Amino acid sequence: QVTLVESGGGAVQAGGSLRLSCATSQYVYSTYCIGWFRQAPGKEREGVSAIFTTDNITYYDAAVKGRFTISQDNALNTVYLQMNGLKPEDTAMYYCAATWYKRAMGCTAEVGADFPYWGQGTQVTVSS
């Protein structure tokens, strides 16, 4: 069973920072591609970032590159999403998701439908 538990959301002003956490089992952490997605009310879900921790392969959507950093904690089997320079348009429910890693496919968050396992989500609200 794949379980993903997000935490760390909250409300901040524009320009502020938040760090999201995604905790999972050691097996999932080391063998799955783990991604972060977000969905704002009335908008489609979009991929934000992804990581394959074993090879430290990372992916960022263009909208967050340079502001967000995905990282890993091998001792805690936890993936983090450090979000700096937050903008009101970053406001959304953020979800951690996991899919089997296939070397030929890489590890990206381009297609949410490729991820069969999802956490419950954590809300991020950025005010102007």
Average of per-residue pLDDT values in the chain: 96
CA dist list (Å): 18 to 6, 21, 22, 23, 126: 13, 10, 13, 16, 10
pLDDT of residue 117: 97
Q: How confident is the model at residue 88 (pLDDT cuts 50, 70, 90)?
A: very high
Please state, in angstroms and rounded to a whole number, the distance separating the CA atoms of residues 90 and 74: 28
Percent of residues, the chain, with pLDDT higher than 90: 96
Q: Distance between CA atoms of 23 and 25, rounded to whole angstroms?
A: 7
Using only C-alpha atoms, what is the Rg of the chain? 13
How sure is the predictor about 127, in pLDDT bands with cuts at 50, 70 and 90?
very high
pLDDT, mean of residues 65-75:
97
20 and 9 Cβ atoms separated by less than 8 Å? yes
Q: Mean pLDDT over residues 102-127, rounded?
A: 95
Assess whether pLDDT exceeds 90 at residue 105. Answer: no
| pLDDT at residue 83 greater than cutoff 90 | yes
Q: Is the pLDDT of residue 54 over 90?
A: yes
Q: Letter for the amino acid at 70? A: I
Beta strands at 92-100 and 32-39: parallel, antiparallel or unpaired: antiparallel
Q: Measure the CA dihedral 90/115/5/13, to 10°.
A: 0
